[in-house]
Amino acid sequence: MNEYILEVKNLTKIFPGVKALDSVNFKIKKGEIHCLCGENGAGKSTLMNVVSGVYPHDSYEGKVFLHGKETNYKTVKDSEQDNLAIIHQELALSPYLSIYENIFLGHIKSKTGIINWKQLIIDSKKLLKKVGLNENPETIVSKMGVGKQQLVEIARALSKNVELLILDEPTSSLNDVESEQLLQLILELKKEGITCIMISHKLNEVMEVADSITILRDGQTICSYDCHNENITEEIIIQGMVGRDMTHRYPEQDHKVSSDTIMEVKNWSVYHPEYPDLAVVKNASFNLKKGEILAFCGPMGAGRTELMMSIFGKAYGSHCSGELYIKGEKREYHTPKDAITDGLGYVSEDRKELGLILIQSVRQNISNSSLKKLSKLGVIDKHKELEEANNFKKSLNIKTPTVEQTVKNLSGGNQQKVVLSRCLLAEPEIFIVDEPTRGIDVGAKYEIYCILEDLVKQGKSVIMVTSEMPEAIGMADRIYVMNEGKIKGQLLKGDATQEKIMTMALTGKKE
Ligand SMILES: Nc1ncnc2c1ncn2[C@@H]1O[C@H](COP(=O)(O)OP(=O)(O)OP(=O)(O)O)[C@@H](O)[C@H]1O
Ligand SMILES: [Mg+2]
């Protein structure tokens, strides 16, 4: 028997203007957890899309073998028949269907055309237990957080007797606790003999679960490591990914925080859009100084995004109460446009839903918040628009053949850079970034931190909502810790540690 469940030989995949994969070779042993690492745009998702039949076999060159047999899939359905399942980078559940409908969607068994719905609910209960999700199978998926949705996706894969499970950045939207649960689940599945390919930018997680690692760079396989026989470190992976040593994860910081308060929020409460009596943020008060990087940490659901979005022109919530002052003057924004006009910028957590217009080009997405600035007498100056977009392509190193490319064709990390560019072009005084490095590779993270550092050096101010505590500790001058809709306290640069942030989230005290 062949010890490899999957083999990819000389795979080349070309999109107009982009060679996404260039003679890739890749092998996965049966029963192992194989991690795929590489910079944004390296070709990781494309490779997995080829393997799972998202791209049909006549759209690429090279060969894919499963259990030693060439695959030649025309659609994803064909790969499902071969017990292969892929969970995409952006979740693909039907938001308005229930958990159990999502689990069985597309492969509902019926006897003589009649579906036994009760049985489906019973079956999904078993699957939910297996993935550790304690929810009623009849719950509508959109009512749950991404962490739980991720587990539903896995339950769906398990319902199809999966042998090879592909997870494309499964933990990028999860907090530390949820991520750890998911990794434990993958390790459990391995014990049952399920082979798993995981793409991740979180190298600590890769180190935790990987039996072997393959590194892609610019569409080519750079190397593969066997983690049990070689002494692999995060530094070695980074070196392979970016092609050079990276001695620092955060830029040298020499910005000065002024004593002037640029923004002050007093007793801010926000109510749930569907349950107007439910306060999601309770009496939050905080201030932001000119030239300061302020971080908001706390577990998922702590109310950080809701607080920021409601301040940003009521982009969230049925109603909110409290006071907002900018440079000492009271403000009331009714729409995000009011906030943008007044010098606020927002990079949202959910780039696909809220941050981008996917069917528009990179150029249009970048100019969307600055059309007034780019127009003369109400007509957009196309030349200027193009020039600005090209400047950002260069300075943020956005990987795309041209700025006319449709944004949905960019890799996840490069889409994030487009959202940042849009916000930067509007030149806000106060820059609110919600999970700014979600799905971003180590090298590009460093580039984004440099941008934030540059902004504060110019006297602008940054509010960073982040679930990555090292990022808050490495970058912020002050950290506010939130939990259960309340600001529990603050920690200063130099004093903050992961333990203190977690203790404060739970008890409101530092230690
Ligand atoms: N449908 C498409 N049309 C055109 N170009 C595409 C398409 N899909 C991917 N690409 C390009 O192929 C390259 C590889 O993209 P891919 O999504 O595989 O990267 P990735 O390694 O998964 O990156 P990330 O870590 O950012 O998710 C990128 O340059 C991307 O812009
Ligand atoms: Mg990807």
Tens digit of each residue's pLDDT, the chain (511 residues)? 578 999 999 999 999 888 999 999 999 999 999 999 998 889 999 999 999 999 999 999 999 999 999 999 999 999 999 999 999 877 788 999 999 999 998 877 777 888 888 889 999 999 999 888 888 999 999 888 777 888 898 899 888 889 999 999 988 877 778 888 889 999 999 999 999 999 999 989 999 999 999 999 989 999 999 999 888 888 888 888 887 776 778 888 889 999 999 999 999 999 988 888 889 999 999 999 999 999 999 877 789 999 999 999 988 887 889 999 999 999 999 999 999 999 999 998 777 777 888 899 999 999 988 888 888 888 989 999 999 999 999 988 898 999 999 999 998 889 989 999 999 999 999 999 999 888 888 888 888 899 899 999 999 999 999 988 889 999 999 999 999 899 999 999 989 998 899 899 888 877 7
Q: For the whole model, what pTM was predicted?
A: 0.80
Distance CA 157, CA 205 (A): 21
44 lines ligand 1 (CB under 6 A): yes
- Quote the Cα angle for 386-390-394, to 5°: 175
- Of 210, 209, 196, 126, which Cα lies nearest the Cα of 162? 196
Determine the distance separating the centroid of ligand 1 and the alpha carbon of 242, expressed in angstroms: 17
Q: Which two tokens stand for residue 452?
A: 């934030």
38 lines ligand 1 (CB under 6 A): yes
399 lines ligand 1 (CB under 6 A): yes
% pLDDT > 90, the chain:
60
Residue reference for tokens 């020499």: 254
Q: What is the rounded (10 degree) CA torsion for 135, 139, 143, 144?
A: 30
411 lines ligand 1 (CB under 6 A): yes
- Of 353, 331, 336, which Cα lies nearest the Cα of 415? 353
- Of 458, 463, 453, 434, which Cα lies nearest the Cα of 287? 463
Q: Is 439 left (phi over 0), alpha (psi -120 to 50) or beta?
A: left
What are the CA-CA distances from residue 439 to residues 22, 382, 416, 417 (Å)?
Answer: 23, 31, 8, 11
The CATH fold assigned to 258-343+430-511 is Rossmann fold (3.40.50)
Residue ranges per structural domain of the chain: 4-242, 258-343+430-511, 357-427
User: Is there a shared CATH topology between the 4-242 domain and the 258-343+430-511 domain?
Assistant: yes
- What backbone torsions phi and psi does residue 175 show, to the nearest 5 degrees? -85, 180
Match domain 4-242 to its CATH number in 3.90.1150.10, 3.40.50.300, 1.25.40.10, 3.40.50.970: 3.40.50.300
At 65, the amino acid letter reads F
